[in-house]
Homo-oligomer: A and B are copies of this chain.
Amino acid sequence: MAPPDRPTIELWFEFASTYSYLAVWRAAELVHGAGLDLRWRPFLLGPVFQAQGWNDSPFNIYPVKGRSMWRDMERQCQEAGMPFRRPTRFPRNGLLAARVALLGSAEAWCPEFVRRVYHMNFAEDRDIADEAEIVGLLDSMGLDGRELCIRSRSTENKEQLRQQTEEAMRLGIFGAPTLVVGSELFWGNDRLEQAVAWARQGAKPGARPPQAPDRRS
């Protein structure tokens, strides 16, 4: 275990979120490579969007923005060397996967599970809302998929995911992915480097952001 005072980055993610796929793909390597801890914080965007008056993804509500996002995802994945296939259904319901991820959020299998769920959704176009898919994925990781899915639906775990989503809203989170370092919020995969630089500086209250390396070159 890392010493308790090691700086931590919280990665708040939702399995239906396209840009979370980009962040989850690279977060662990980047954060651990910087000597920091990474805390996985699954939550649900549905209630967050509802609080803003939306009953669907803003990428569906505003199709012009949606078209741009899908093209951007293609280019971003290409640049990062990540497989990508636009899902035939969007957004997919990530509730079960989020409950399982929450159950395992302190377990060694969590990062791989999270990455592979995103891969199913955004590279394989498979339905992550289908319990058989999640069970199969967990089983293929050497876990007991059926039992984990049952435990993920315990009253306690369901309530904990609700509370985690409420905590997201209290923190001012309005989209995913969001990186949280102390009291600082960084929205989007594009801010992962800045969040890491901030956390390395110690994230002192009132501290100014560090000078990050020039990314213009």
Please indicate the chain B residues that have their CB under 8 angstroms from the CB of A175 in the complex. Answer: 65
Would you call A216 and B30 a contact (CB within 8 A)?
A: yes
A89 at interface (Cβ–Cβ under 8 A)?
Answer: no
Which B residue sits closest to A30, measured CB to CB?
Answer: B216
Copies of this chain, complex-wide, total 2
| Known contacts A187-B72, A194-B75, A208-B78; is-contact A26 B174 (Cβ 8 Å) | no
A interface residues, tally (CB under 8 Å): 36
Q: Do A190 and B190 have beta carbons less than 8 Å apart?
A: yes
Chain B residues with Cβ below 8 Å from A191 are 72
Q: Which residues of B contact A186 (CB under 8 A)?
A: 72
A217 at the interface (CB under 8 A from B): yes
Q: A residues engaging B (CB < 8 A)?
A: 26, 29-30, 52, 62, 64-65, 67-68, 71-72, 74-75, 78-79, 81, 172, 174-175, 184-187, 190-191, 193-194, 198, 208-209, 211-213, 215-217
